[in-house]
Structure 1
Amino acid sequence: MTTVGIIANPSAGKDIRRLISQSRFVSNQEKVNLLQRVIKGLSGVGVNEVLLMPDSGHIAQEAVSNLQEIISVKFLEMTILNSEQDTITAAKLMQKQGVSAIVTLGGDGTNRAVALGTCEVPIMPLSTGTNNVFPFLIEGTLAGMAAGTVACHLVDKELCAPRCKKMSVYKSRNMAMDLVDMALVDIAISTETYVGARAIWDINTVSEIFLAVAKPDSIGLSSIGGLTNPISATDSHGLHIEIEKQIGSKYVSAPLTAGNIAKVGIKSISNMVPDHAYVIKKTPCTIALDGERSIPLRDGDSITIILTGDGPPVIDPHKTLKIVGQNKVYFKD
């Protein structure tokens, strides 16, 4: 019996960036349609069962309403809180119940929450918006096929689902370092002293950026690094950028949100060394994780950021399906 978990975030693709930019709004019905294609892709390559996170938008419930004939459907027994804690709890329960892979529908923040729940189960991150770096923008059927292929052990998991990097955030408490959160793509130090609408969209409020990946073909903070010093998911190091508020002779033009290319002043750029402790003491401020302000720091507080290579295994659907074709996995002669 091969079981694949599915976590669909009902809030993904609906934050404030849809109001202040031309970022794509993704309706629940579009997510339902996408999820149905994912499940058909899973079923088509031999997955026997899907284990779904229930959600307040009833996305998963509606998606499987007429699919029970092709695949066994189960829902997690859990209380819905309408927060990222739902995703964290679901990921923990899915690992505990032995799923072979998890398909996520959401953005960078959704996958960060999954990683907070488990870094041991391979994930197939499927994008549902325009401001995403971590998930793949790929047709749902293909994402389902790739996830199912890895889940059914038909390809080498080390090749098709290598571990990603993660940036762990520690806070000093009682002479000890406590892990308080993590990020998979970017950490920004914001001069805003409150969490507010959470999403980072005004670069003038950002003083520093730490990047696990810096992609020139992305939207958001990662593009700042990507257009100055690209860092891939396979590179062991990351990038640390200090932002200059006044635009001088050293700047980069980067797409911070969909439809918005802005000049970003650069004070300094340096490689982020794995396992090195980066201490932030510029308080008061807020720490934004994967594009969303999450941790407020008061005067006298400090945090430590450490980049490591032990994030969750991430299924690369393009590489997986290429290997499937080369090895004729689904070819019958």
Structure 2
Amino acid sequence: MPTIGLIINPMAGRDIRRLVAAASLQSAPEKMLVVRRLFSGMSGIPDTEVMMIDDYEGFGRYALHELNDLLPVKLIAGEKEPSNGASTIDWAKRLEQAGARVIVSVGGDGTQRNIAQAQLRIPILPIAGGTNNVACWTGDQTAAGYACALYLARGDDPLDVGFQAKLIHVQLESGHEELALIDVALVRQAYTGALAVWHAEDVERLLLTVADPVRPGLSNVGGFLYPVFPGDDVALQVTLRGGPPGQATLAVMAPGLMTPFYVQQAEPLALGQTVTWSRKEGGSLALDGERSVVLKPGEPVMLRVIRDGPFVLDPTKILRKG
């Protein structure tokens, strides 16, 4: 039986950026409706099964008890604590080990980064459910669910109906490595705070795998300077000033939040090319929009973009194939 693993991030789309912008929160009931739409689409292909973690927030139990008329649901025992980035990575690995042949993940870029960190051998279908959704499918979820089940039923090659994502490899002085899917920002504050970055003047540099002018987030500023898309074998580095003088480039930091950025330089980088960042005063790195790594004064960090990320399915390509 073709099995789809489904992960819902209950905290996605509820960070501080939505409070300072003109955006509504992605509530639990709304996410449940997303799950129902996905199930409705998947049910269009007979014998499809969905596998979920019995999560603390109850999305798995909701699917088991409320949507079993659409599809059979298999629950895997989960944690008794609220979910977080580490649990998302663990869930993805456990679903793959339990027999899922594709992972559908509902969340924003931070959630999809966690899925990428799991280093799965099976493809993923990221569904928009966060504040910034550059890495995600933003079309109808019913169509996405149907496309995912159709992909499994036909046994398509994921590269025929999708692509392999680019990843930013971040090498710290200690030897520790971090990964980002869409953007890494060098931030002036040497603390993580509320994690999310929403003040343009806090950002000194950006490295982007995608710079799409119609997708909100830190990567949006690059979309107005040198657009870069998932299939392009190039990355973009942007150097910023803290403010005037100079003409500002407006960018959509979050839904309903237009922000001026003062760009000093924007340069394309070849895949595999290494760049080194540091700040004399120290700072932090925001990975896919969230401050995650604190840097000591003068501490160097090496970054490079490689196309070695997860295989990402494209519902449009699947459905166009017939």
Q: Report if the CA contact (8 A) 1:12-1:106 is conserved.
A: yes
Q: Report if the CA contact (8 A) 2:6-2:104 is conserved.
A: yes
Cα deviation per residue 1:67-119 (whole Å; 9 max; x = unaligned)? 22442211223325431111000111122223111111100000000111124
Match of residue 55 from structure 2: 55
Match of residue 27 from structure 1: 27
Q: Find 2:220's aligned residue among 220, 223, 226.
A: 223
Match of residue 86 from structure 2: 85
Q: Report if the CA contact (8 A) 2:14-2:26 is conserved.
A: yes
Match of residue 328 from structure 1: none
Match of residue 192 from structure 2: 195
Match of residue 121 from structure 1: 122
Q: Find 1:274's aligned residue among 271, 275, 296.
A: 271
SS of the counterpart of 1:134?
A: coil
Query: Counterparts of 1:90 and 1:267 in 2: how far apart (Å)?
Result: 41
Query: Counterparts of 1:60 and 1:304 in 2: how far apart (Å)?
Result: 40
* Residue identity in the other structure for 1:305: L
Query: Counterparts of 1:130 and 1:294 in 2: how far apart (Å)?
Result: 17
The farther-off stretch of 137-146 and 37-46 is 37-46
Query: Counterparts of 1:150 and 1:278 in 2: how far apart (Å)?
Result: 38
Q: CA deviation at 1:161?
A: 2.1
Q: Find 1:290's aligned residue among 288, 291, 296.
A: 288
The farther-off stretch of 134-143 and 274-283 is 274-283
Query: Counterparts of 1:141 and 1:13 in 2: how far apart (Å)?
Result: 20
Aligned pair count reads 320
Q: CA deviation at 1:274?
A: 1.1
TM-score (structure 2 length as normaliser): 0.94
How many percent identity over aligned positions? 30
Q: CA deviation at 1:250?
A: 4.0
Match of residue 106 from structure 1: 107
Query: Counterparts of 1:145 and 1:211 in 2: how far apart (Å)?
Result: 31
Query: Counterparts of 2:225 and 2:145 in 1: how far apart (Å)?
Result: 34
Q: Report if the CA contact (8 A) 1:231-1:238 is conserved.
A: yes
Match of residue 317 from structure 1: 315
Cα deviation per residue 1:254-298 (whole Å; 9 max; x = unaligned)? 122222222211111111221122222215111001111111112
Residues 1:308 and 1:257: Cα distance change in structure 2 (over 3 Å) = same
Q: Report if the CA contact (8 A) 1:122-1:315 is conserved.
A: yes
Match of residue 157 from structure 1: 158
SS of the counterpart of 1:169?
A: strand
Q: Report if the CA contact (8 A) 2:64-2:75 is conserved.
A: no
Cα deviation per residue 1:150-200 (whole Å; 9 max; x = unaligned)? 223343421212111111112233xxx332x21111110111111111011
Query: Counterparts of 1:79 and 1:121 in 2: how far apart (Å)?
Result: 23
Q: Which runs of 5+ in 2 are unaligned?
A: none
Answering whether residue 238 of structure 2 is matched by residue 248 of structure 1, we say: no
Q: Report if the CA contact (8 A) 1:131-1:257 is conserved.
A: yes
Q: Report if the CA contact (8 A) 1:38-1:140 is conserved.
A: yes
Answering whether residue 305 of structure 2 is matched by residue 307 of structure 1, we say: yes
Cα deviation per residue 1:306-325 (whole Å; 9 max; x = unaligned)? 2000110111112221222x
Q: CA deviation at 1:300?
A: 4.4
Query: Counterparts of 1:171 and 1:221 in 2: how far apart (Å)?
Result: 22
The farther-off stretch of 206-215 and 160-169 is 160-169
Q: Which runs of 5+ in 1 are unaligned?
A: 325-333
Give the CA RMSD over aligned residues: 1.7
Query: Counterparts of 1:224 and 1:301 in 2: how far apart (Å)?
Result: 26
